[in-house]
Amino acid sequence: MSSESARFVPKVHPATRPMEAEDPLSLHAVSVEGDPEVMLHCVVQEYAWMGWGSEEILSLFRDPFYPALRELWDRYGEANLRERIAALIHETGIFHFQVTIREAPEAEPEEAEPELVELGIPAQWRAKGSDHA
């Protein structure tokens, strides 16, 4: 076991772990090894596909509550990051959509039951003295 992983608490599934009164139940982000270019590409693509523009995406990197994105901000700097985001958006595009809300269609008036028309043979057309065809 490396000395780096020895400082972390062993992983236990939350459903099997007993609740502790002093546990603040807060999450803490930690950096992991990886390719920052891939991360940048994935983040920009994900938000562009949700319809976000470059300035909205760039604002995520300024937010200290997104430590991984903040590390990319520190790594590339604002100007370089702005260029990279613009290039990625040019490559992937921004998903735009338009929503049209239609009110529920008006209920069609119920048709009245069709009028019952009895068909019969008029008396003058009936053959006299015969009840069969």
Identify the burial level of 44 via C-beta atoms within 10 angstroms of its C-beta, where 0-12 means exposed, 13-18 middle and 19 or more buried: buried
- CA of 84: how far to CAs of 1, 28, 36, 49, 51, in Å? 38, 28, 12, 16, 18
Low-confidence ranges of the chain (pLDDT < 50): 1
Residue 63 to residue 73: CA distance in whole angstroms: 10
On whether residue 76 sits in a domain, the answer given is yes
Q: How many domains does the chain have?
A: 1
Per-residue pLDDT tens for 99-123?
888 888 777 777 777 788 777 777 7
Nearest Cα residue to 95 out of 47, 54, 57, 55: 47
* pLDDT (0 to 100) of residue 3: 60
Residues in CB range of 29: below 8 A, 6 or more apart: 67, 68
In a domain, 70, yes or no: yes
* Residue position matching structure tokens 């007993």: 18
> What is the per-residue pLDDT for 127?
65
Q: Is residue 118 part of a domain?
A: no
Residue 41 covered by a domain? no
Place of tokens 């459903």: 15
Q: Judge whether 122 lies within some domain.
A: no
Q: Name the residue range of residue 57's domain.
A: 51-95
What is the pTM assigned to this prediction? 0.54
Domain membership of residue 110 (yes or no) is no
Domain annotation covers residue 62 = yes
The whole-number pLDDT of residue 129 equals: 60
The confidence score (pLDDT) of residue 133 equals 52
Residue 113 maps to a domain: no
The pLDDT score that the predictor gives to residue 4 is 62
